[in-house]
Chains A and B, each alone.
Chain A
Amino acid sequence: MSDTLTPASPALTAKDFATDQEVRWCPGCGDYSILKQVQTILPQTGLPRENIVIISGIGCSSRFPYYMNTYGMHSIHGRATAIASGLKATRPELSVWIVTGDGDGLSIGGNHTIHLLRRNFNVNILLFNNQIYGLTKGQYSPTSEEHKVTKSTPAGSLDHPFNPLALAMGADASFIARSMDRDPKHLQQMLLRANGHNGASLLEIYQNCNIFNDGAFEIFTEKGSKPEEALFLEHGQPLIFGADKNKGIRLDGYKPVVVNLGEGMNADDLWIHDETDFFKAQILTRLFDDPTRQGHFPRPFGVFYAADRATYENSMSLQIEEIIAKKGKGNLDSLLQGKETWVIE
């Protein structure tokens, strides 16, 4: 939780965060649910509306700020992270949220995303991953699966996709988590966790684009398959999944293996999730195989990793304070005069 912000009064409700602008996503789009969950959790954070800033890039998802009654900027494609960096560097007390898509944040803006993560600004990145370019009407994205047939790849795409959370780990992100549009409760929890983290939080949200990539995450989100395919992580708890809660993941050295509980195997033998374990978090991000493949792992959801690390804006303020303490506040006249001067009469 941001430490410098004072709770608003009187208490706000989700409605207070809605605007008078007509929401223009396609009916059935997963973005609606995400908007709703964000509006739902913000009152719980106690953040005053005026201290919240939502910055987005370009894409369907990036229309988000128009629908939030906070400060907001709908910027240019891929650059929300960079704009947010400048804002947070100069206004550390603000609660800064970045809304970005898989194209916006991982393709055109991929560079800024990794650099923001390594610098660790205390901001929340909501990565709306629909594995497609929605706004430009359905080209494949850097998270689309291989061989994907889209308008721009009639014969199937050749690109190998990004694994966004593994990428974030590679950039030394201090908080990474995954959730989905179709699980409002879980999404709310993850939003609150992301907001509570002091540092850059990357929350990847599986979002259905029912127009150009319908059902991309069905296997994880639909009742029938969800229990077998989605693994919900909880700190301190064993990795258990399955409709009957009878499957688990065990670590054999560095190698994760799926085991059945009961057959001489109980929960204590399983991998116990520890959000602060940097090495295990990397293995978790690699549970990312094709869900149609025989013997595949379930896909984890929840907080993979959360660690404390100095935030950029805080270090920046401290450095300035230290320099001022050492050299004294800058004096314009002595600066302009410099060391060596002469007088012309």
Chain B
Amino acid sequence: MSVPTRVIDDVVIKFAGDSGDGMQLTGSQFTNNTALIGNDLSTFPDFPAEIRAPQGTVPGVSGYQLHFSSNRIFTPGDSCDVLVAMNAAALKVNLKMLKKGGIIIANTDGFDTKNLRLANYPEGANPLEDGTVSGYELYKIDVTKLTREALKDIQMGVKEKDRAKNMFVLGFLYWLYNRDMQSTFSFLHDKFSSKPEILESNIKAIQAGYNFGDTIEAFTSRYKVEKAKLPAGNYRGITGNTALAYGLIAASQMSSLPLFLGTYPITPASDILHELARHKNFGIRTFQAEDEIAGISAAIGAAYGGSLGVTTTSGPGMALKTEAMGLAVMLEIPLVIVNIQRGGPSTGLPTKTEQSDLLQAYYGRNGECPMPVISTATPSDCFDVAYEAVRIAVQHMTPVILLSDGYIANGSEPWRYPQSKDLQPIEVTFKKQLAEGEEKYLPYQRDEKLVRPWAVPGTAGLEHRIGGLEKEAITGNVSYDPDNHEAMVKTREAKVDLIADYIPEQTLDSGPEQGDVLVLGWGSTYGAIKSAAAELQEQGKSVAHAHLRYLRPFPRNLGAMLQNYKHILVPEINNGQLIKIIRDKFLVDAKAYNKIKGVPITRTELVSVISELLA
């Protein structure tokens, strides 16, 4: 009761437990609550590929990292201040992430002999007792016992009661960070409205956790993080995949094109399907096809019929869609292909992040098969990028590849959401009839953007045939003529290149317009690069940061921009992909920094890599 509250700027909490312990829910509830008080935040959920990996083991550990602050922040944090460890395996996996002197909240029941053995601690060793955690502030709580105690009056099995353990922990953290718990109560009321016992047990467990904080005297202070100084506006929290789905819906509304999603479930892209399927009242048609090939093919069929055709997937599914993407390039119809990248090759690391499909997006099809490629940098950025992908697709009559990744897809952050009146409508023109003097519809006649008309079935007088065989320029008839083929290859390429005239020039995210180092990034490395650049700039170093949204074509001024720095550094979560393209296109001696461990690049790593370049 009398515990004083300390105001702090910045906290990173890692919730870690067995994948059955409900850590993702705990983390996301705490995140929503944090968002509502106006902190800036960034999250990183990290979970095993198996739904229920062997209980208590190291591979079964599921984690949720939340970074929140009264300052602007751009990453989930390189290390954490607080580690919630529901069992021994969770401690084992995450201890190295904890800052020296950091807080450990350990559920002692998860450190019994069985759990210690499952986590592969040597016989008789217990990290909570043997000095392993002596450099940290350790709080041992028997969450299981306390939860059961709190729920003793509720008629339900012990197993069911134990499911509320995570809520006890959540309640305790709400106490520790001085929170109003209403947001979680509302969530639980919605979720368990038809299951009153579960609702009651969850609420009781949260309250017990909160009260536990009040009654034990172990903690010498509670904490408070003030509102962040974000740009003024209306905010909400959002994850990458939700923002991406909203971007597609907004684009559908603002182009008046009905949205059709043809897709096949795959981690970490499925949530886009789930989200869109919930919003059929926007006239959205979601089609869970028999495989990825059918998913993209159906989307092509829908686009051919005048809908906004979209297909979503991740690496292995991208591989399957390849041939159909080539068809879309030949047909020159609009299509948005979303790849939420994950670790590869093959099935690879389904729940881990990677940026290793860029070269595939660029080059991975048979024949000369150019396609615009754009990428997302942060969870909320997914909204704008999805919107932009649609704009390019329908205004340039081309399939567009949108690259996001697992880290962005599942991560969340505050979003200054737009209103429809702020969105630039997407103009679409269908060809409705023959023009004056036009005798026959010419499906491959092009305008100044090299774009052909979109004439959809049902339009009288424009009946025509298209297909994957090489087209004769203008008429679209099948043609095997050698000169025609070369001309068509060049035209398709030029059409994509011309998009550069219809996208913004590249800007610097931060730093001097010329100087020692330009860090050139794309995708989910945004936050780490931004933070590292800021740190070095504060030290007076000449470091700039540019982050590419448009990967193909590149913004017109990019080549010139690269000339303004002594060093170009390209950090990527892959074995060096953007760098190959940059070197090829601009003949610059760019340096790579690569990390291929299924986890994001950290600010700390980048600071040292950039510092080496400066030295």
Contact = CB atoms under 8 A, between A and B. Distances in A.
Contacts of A136: none
Interface in A124-139: none
A155 interface: no
A94 B458 contact: yes
Interface string A82-93: 111111111101
B464 interface: yes
Given A89-B285, A335-B279, A342 B300 contact: no
A323 to B, nearest CB: 5
B462 A50 contact: yes
Given A71-B463, A336-B417, A340-B237, A86 B287 contact: yes
Contacts of A88: 301
A330 interface: yes
A69 B331 CA distance: 18
Interface stretch (B226-234, B341-349, B521-529): B226-234
Contact of A344 (B183, B230, B307, B462): B230
Contact of A76 (B229, B301, B324): B324
Nearest to A17: B463
Contacts of A70: 463
B461 interface: yes
Contacts of B183: 340
A82 B293 contact: yes
Interface in B439-468: 456-468
A143 B232 CA distance: 68
A51 B230 CA distance: 54
Q: In the complex, which range does the number of interface residues on chain A fall in?
A: 35 or more
Nearest to B32: A340
Contacts of B302: 86-87, 89-90
A312 B204 CA distance: 46
Given A91-B305, A316-B285, A86 B260 contact: yes
Contact of A79 (B297, B416, B418, B457): B297
Contacts of A69: 463
Most buried by B among A21, A324, A332: A332
B38 interface: yes
A50 B463 contact: yes
Given A71-B464, A329-B281, A343 B233 contact: yes
A55 B236 CA distance: 45
Contacts of B280: 319-320, 323-324
Interface string A321-339: 0011001111011011110
Nearest to A69: B463
A83 B231 contact: no
B287 A94 contact: no
A332 B289 contact: no
10 contacts: A51-B457, A71-B465, A74-B465, A75-B327, A86-B297, A86-B299, A112-B297, A332-B249, A336-B418, A338-B236
Interface of A: 19, 21, 48-53, 55, 58, 65-66, 68-76, 79, 82-91, 93-94, 111-112, 115, 316, 319-320, 323-324, 327-330, 332-333, 335-338, 340-345
